[in-house]
Amino acid sequence: MTYQRVLLKISGEALMGNLGYGIDPKVVANIAQEIKEVISHNIQLAIVVGGGNIFRGVKAASAGMDRATADYVGMIATVMNAMTLQDALEQISVPTRVLTAIAMQEVAEPYIRRRAIRHLEKGRVIVFGAGSGNPFFTTDTTAALRAAEIDAEVVFKATKVDGVYDSDPQLNPNARRYISLNYSHVLTHDLRVMDSTAISLCKENNIPIIVFNLSIQGNIIRAIRGETVGTIVGGSCDVK
């Protein structure tokens, strides 16, 4: 395997499936099965999950809600997703721990870096909830931050698209998908792979980012094996 310790970022929208809101149990069950296969290869896996399927802080703030309050509500939504994913994993015998940046001791462990690493070393999946615990920061930034903290070798950004394009493929049928990109190109051209803070963190810590379609079965393990899946950020610029 190419990678032994991986940070997987799953958007809240990915858990929604084709629903307009909330969590699709079938989608979560499928993701759990993919994760179980990953763990069977002795890969250490940490997950950061978003909350956009339940509540999006930026959207609520734009509608007049206090931004910090809206972001805290969004963080709580990520904990709901994290607990749902934990339940799906434990139902198929994958030991899982939810660690939250906001104390919720009745339902999850507090995030402590050394504890998180110890869980990984013991073969447990860890799911980070409540973002970074701070308003004004996205779960993309949380993914980059946690990846650096736990010494992850790579960040997998699992989305609904099969990579990064030079323009919106839904609007431009001639849009070209990048096979690889460097961090500077992403920042300069505002490609929205992740927010600029997350990209900068990964650049500073030399952590590659692989963007791929989560709905295609087997993509996670293919990416771990080093197969060409989606777009890798951290190399040279190459367009398909």
Domain 5-239: assigned CATH number:
3.40.1160.10
The per-residue pLDDT for 236 is: 65
- Known binding residue 69? Answer is no
pLDDT over 70 at 239, yes or no:
no
pLDDT over 70 at 120, yes or no:
yes
Side chain identity, residue 23 = I
Q: pLDDT of 5-49, one tens digit each?
A: 999 999 998 898 888 889 999 999 999 999 999 999 999 999 999
- Known binding residue 51? Answer is yes
pLDDT over 90 at 89, yes or no:
yes
Helices (H) and strands (E) in the chain, counts: 9, 11
- Known binding residue 188? Answer is no
Domain ranges of the chain: 5-239
- Known binding residue 168? Answer is yes
Predicted model pTM: 0.93
Q: pLDDT of 140-160, one tens digit each?
A: 999 999 999 999 999 999 888
- Known binding residue 74? Answer is no
Reported as a pLDDT band with limits 50, 70 and 90, residue 215 is confident
C-beta atoms surrounding 67 within 10 Å: 14
pLDDT over 80 at 112, yes or no:
yes
- Known binding residue 52? Answer is yes
- Known binding residue 17? Answer is no
pLDDT over 80 at 1, yes or no:
no
Contact 82, 129 (CB under 8 A): yes
* 93 CB-near residues (< 8 Å, 6+ apart): 36
pLDDT > 70 fraction of the chain, expressed in percent and rounded: 97
The per-residue pLDDT for 162 is: 86
First CA to last CA distance, the chain = 25
- Known binding residue 9? Answer is yes
The per-residue pLDDT for 62 is: 79
CA dist., res. 199 & res. 185, Å (int)? 11
pLDDT over 90 at 174, yes or no:
no
- Known binding residue 159? Answer is yes
CA dist., res. 224 & res. 179, Å (int)? 16
Contact 106, 100 (CB under 8 A): no
pLDDT > 90 fraction of the chain, expressed in percent and rounded: 70
In whole numbers, what is the pLDDT of the chain averaged over residues?
92
- Known binding residue 100? Answer is no
* Mean pLDDT within 114-126: 98
- Known binding residue 25? Answer is no
The per-residue pLDDT for 206 is: 94
- Known binding residue 218? Answer is no
C-beta atoms surrounding 178 within 10 Å: 23
- Known binding residue 71? Answer is yes
